[in-house]
Each structure stands twice: as C-alpha cells, then as structure tokens.
Structure 1
C-alpha cells in the first residue's frame, strides 16, 4: 500500500527514542504538529527539550521510531534540502564577522553563520531582508553592526533571519534568553504579530519559563526525564497540577490576558 502525506501535518513523531552513550534521552515520544499550530516544549533541565527540537529541525536522527518533517521521513531524505524550509532561532547564534543586520538576515538563505564569500543576494532578496527587518522593528537598524545591537535587537534580527526563506516551520530555542523584561515583551509581541501575518506557518518553542510564552501559543508538551508527561492544547496542559507534576514542585499557574504566570503554590 502506498503511504500518503497529510498536507495538514507539519511534524509527526511516532514512538521516538534517542539513545546516547547507552542512555535514553528521549523515549516513547509522540508529537503531531499541524499547519498553523504553535507548540511549546516545556520541562526541567535534562528533560529532553533540546534533543526533541533537534529532531524537529532535521538536525539529527532518532535511535528508534519515526520522524517526519514537512511530510518527509528522516533517514529517507537529504537533510540539508529539508532544512531550507525550516527557520531556526537560537539566541546563542555565533558569527565570525561583525555583520550588518541585513547581512545577518540574508545568511538565512545560505544556511551559514556568516555571509558566504562570492555569494550575492539578488535585489529582490535584499529587499525582502530589509522588509523583514522592518517587520520586527529594526527598519532603522538595517545597516547597524551586530556588535552595536542590544540583546533584544539581536533576538529580533534572528527571527527575521529565520523567516527570510519563508519557512513552513519555525523553531525557537529559548528565544527570550538573556533579555530584560522590556526586551522580552517586545520580542514576544513580535512573535505574536508574525504568527498572525503567517497563518499557515507552524512553530515549536522551547522554554523553561511559562512567562516567556507568547499569547499565540496553541499547544504544549510537558517533558520529564525524556518522556511525555502531558501533551495537548495549551489550556489543557498548562495547568497547576500538570506543570507541578512535570517539575516535581508545587506551582500555581494562571493565564492573564492570554499569557501564563507561574508561582509557587
């Protein structure tokens, strides 16, 4: 029987296991992300969040189970080509040169940390990068050098970089790391706005802190010790009982104006 690809499914992980040095980092993980859904991966340190995001980004292979990204099964497809349709935002992004904002954004087209020698963006590509800079609040900073940007501006530049290839899937790895409260709020407002502008794009965000989740988050998965503790719609999963269980700590969870707040119970 010929298998068919569901065009409404962006990510499909089935009974996934990842083993390193004889230790299971992930075990029996199932995750199904649909078009336009925005998932949060939450759990304590060592729960397996980063390992799971690596699979979502086609940056690694599972030790067991199957991973399908954008309808293509990992292990049966050339990963580099698949990654061109995945945007990845990592605040720990490292560059060798002190590049301008627009050049940083354009590296999203080449999948490189710095501009590729002898590669030149077309006029349309460069204009697209400039437009993206404006869309994340950096319209007046397109020529500014990386070293002169605040941490919040860098985070927004990296979001524009991830979007420059018009990805079907956006991955955000603790995007609010190192930001003060004002910069975090600006960043999360930017993410909410972009999600509304790109209604078919799906996203997965890794975070330790519920306060770092945008209001547009639709679904959540709680991980504990490499296993799924709970998974489903955000309102069903991000409850005091379930989050307390995942972190093994008494927490009171509230949602205010679309955002979540966690306090000791």
Structure 2
C-alpha cells in the first residue's frame, strides 16, 4: 500500500508560538482519517501542510510521493481536493449548484465561457447523485442552506478526481438534521473503494462518519495518539486530548462522548 502523506518530525513555529511540535504521521492509500482536538490544537495547520499550502519550519513533508520544497506546489495542489470556508467564500451566490461542482474541472470558482465536454457533465451528475444532492443542481449557491452548501463543496472537491480529499470542519455551524445529511454523504463516500484518501478535521467525535479507519488526536501542537480507530479513539486518549475526564460510547459505527461523572474515572 503506497503512502499518500508522510510527515517526519515536523514543526511549525511562528514567532514565540509553536503551532506543531515534532509531528510524525503516515497516511496510506485507502485510509480515512479523523483529526480531533480542541481549539488551538494545530488541526487546521496540519491540514494546510497536507494541502501543500504551508511549509514546515523544520522536518520533512512528502505528499503523494513529492517532497515539499522540491516540487511545484501548484501542480501538486491539483491532485488534492480541499473544502473550507475560504473555498465557499469564493463562490458567486448566483452560481447554480451544478456549475459550482463542474467549474472545478477548470479550476475556476465561477462559470464564465468555458466549454465543458459531455464527460464533465456526466461526471458532475454522477458525483451529485452519489452525494445525494442531485435535486439541488438547478438551485443557486446563495439560496442553499449551510448544510447543502457543504455537500455541494464536497462534490466540487471530488470533480477533479483528487488522490486526497481534505475536509476542514465540514459540520461546523450545521444543525442536527443538516449534520446527519452530511454524515450520510460522507459515509457513502468512505464506503466507495475508489474514493480518495480522506482526512477530516473536527472537534467532535459525534461527527466521525461511519467507515473512517484511523484517528489522530492533537493537543497544543503535539500528537496525543495516532493510529487505527479502535486503538486510538479511547476515553483515556480523549481525556488527555481535551483536558477533562470523558466517557466514550459507540453504536453502529458512530461515537458519542460526555464528561465522566464526578468520582468516576474514564477508561
């Protein structure tokens, strides 16, 4: 199994603040990772490294077989799908949902005079159908709910057949129904054997889609634990990560966490 992402003793320092400290991490093809941690843990910084939009202060980073610092990052970024609020802010509100997805084929955020081939149209339709958003095709981006926008942006990120897909807190700001709709789309994606490597950042274990295989827990720029889900996502590791005693439960491949009752220890 080939390696999609390899970080070796990576640190990122800004002034007197260390954002990431001696992080080593290997992500292989076929894996789906959740990155969990409190605010300021370094999760978004880690995702920026994985997306080739940030260089380390020290250490080595290899992305899809290419070493940062020795590769054309603009070419490398075309192989990586990324969803974030920054991407959403670049989409014209009058753009149809289908054009939001399809225009990614040209690397533009608003359709202009590009000529799309039948293949592009078919691929866009297939992606939207697989994510359960085909009914939104004719709606303008500005009229979509926050949850619908998040799912359309995931479709856009998939349009270029990326080898790795980075999801930066895709559930942030969503109500319960919208979150569960998004989870259903991500679960379908994670179950697809042809899906890209998935790396998703979140604060909450409740937002881990069924089918994700690995977890990394971060606190203050340090890795608390990283590895297969069943051995990494434990009450003890979560408690260390979030600085409070937590209990963890799982059912049907989904997780819930809550503070442990006073006088009890998290196991």
TM-score per shorter chain, which class? over 0.9
| Alignment deviations for residues 90-129 of structure 1 (CA, whole Å, 9 cap, x no partner) | 24521244200111102322333333x4433222112211
* Counterpart Cα distance in 1 of 2:221 and 2:199: 17
1:112 to 78, 90, 108: 108
Counterpart of 1:138?
Answer: 133
* Mean Cα deviation higher: 60-69 or 104-113: 104-113
Q: Alignment partner of 1:160: what SS?
A: helix
Counterpart of 1:99?
Answer: 95
2:51 to 57, 63, 74: 57
Give the root-mean-square deviation of aligned CA atoms.
Answer: 1.5
2:255 to 244, 247, 260: 260
Which structure 2 segments of 5+ residues have no match?
261-267
Q: Alignment partner of 1:197: what SS?
A: coil
TM-score (normalised: structure 2): 0.92
Give the alignment of 1:22-37 within 5 angstroms.
22-37=16-31
1:76 to 2:80 alignment: no
| Alignment deviations for residues 192-238 of structure 1 (CA, whole Å, 9 cap, x no partner) | 11122244521110000110110111111111111111111111111
* Mean Cα deviation higher: 73-82 or 129-138: 129-138
* Counterpart Cα distance in 2 of 1:138 and 1:170: 19
* Counterpart Cα distance in 2 of 1:138 and 1:11: 30
1:239 to 2:234 alignment: yes
Counterpart of 1:248?
Answer: 243
2:219 to 209, 224, 242: 224
Counterpart of 2:124?
Answer: 129
Which structure 1 segments of 5+ residues have no match?
1-6
* Counterpart Cα distance in 2 of 1:241 and 1:173: 25
* Mean Cα deviation higher: 192-201 or 182-191: 192-201
How big is the shift at 1:177? 1.1
1:189 to 2:189 alignment: no
* Counterpart Cα distance in 1 of 2:198 and 2:20: 20
Counterpart of 2:196?
Answer: 201
Q: Residue 39 of structure 1 contacts residue 203 of structure 1 at CA under 8 Å; is this kept in 2? A: yes
Equivalent residues, number:
258
Q: Residue 92 of structure 2 contacts residue 141 of structure 2 at CA under 8 Å; is this kept in 1? A: no
